[in-house]
Amino acid sequence: DTGVSQNPRHKITKRGQNVTFRCDPISEHNRLYWYRQTLGQGPEFLTYFQNEAQLEKSRLLSDRFSAERPKGSFSTLEIQRTEQGDSAMYLCASSLAGLGGNEQFFGPGTRLTVL
């Protein structure tokens, strides 16, 4: 499977715990995005990398959230001191810089439930 993969697919945690998610983009894609989606809403942008550089971060992203893409390949998203409001589907997407559009390929997501 050469698509975007995310792990874990589901995560249940207690409030106050830290969680980390991983995203493996399509191998030749140099751009990687994190989104959050709640029921009945469209994906909400969190942050974006080009290669290993984090180029954009949503103002909605609190300081409890941090993302890395150390070697310009896979990325991790960490949420510290989770809150019940963090419960959502966390989607990763990747795209390839170059001519044309900015179509993004999404992974299956990690569903986070904070108890």
Partner 1 sequence: GQQVMQIPQYQHVQEGEDFTTYCNSSTTLSNIQWYKQRPGGHPVFLIQLVKSGEVKKQKRLTFQFGEAKKNSSLHITATQTTDVGTYFCSNGGSRQAGTALIFGKGTTLSVSS
Site for partner 1 contains 10 (CB under 8 A): no
In whole angstroms, give the CA distance from residue 36 to residue 86: 9
Other Cβ atoms less than 10 A from the Cβ of 24: the count is: 17
- Pick out residues in 29-88 that bind partner 1 (CB under 8 A): 31, 33, 40-45, 48, 50, 55-56, 58
Nearer to partner 1, 25 or 43 (CB): 43
By rule CB under 8 A, what count of residues binds partner 1? Answer: 29
Judged by CB under 8 A, the stretch of 18-26, 61-69, 74-82, 98-106 that binds partner 1 is 98-106
The tokens for 91 are 């989607």
Nearest distance from residue 112's CB to partner 1, in Å?
Answer: 15
Burial class (CB in 10 A: 0-12, 13-18, 19+), 81: exposed
In whole angstroms, give the CA distance from residue 69 to residue 50: 9
Site residues for partner 1 per CB under 8 A = 31, 33, 40-45, 48, 50, 55-56, 58, 91, 93, 95, 97-109
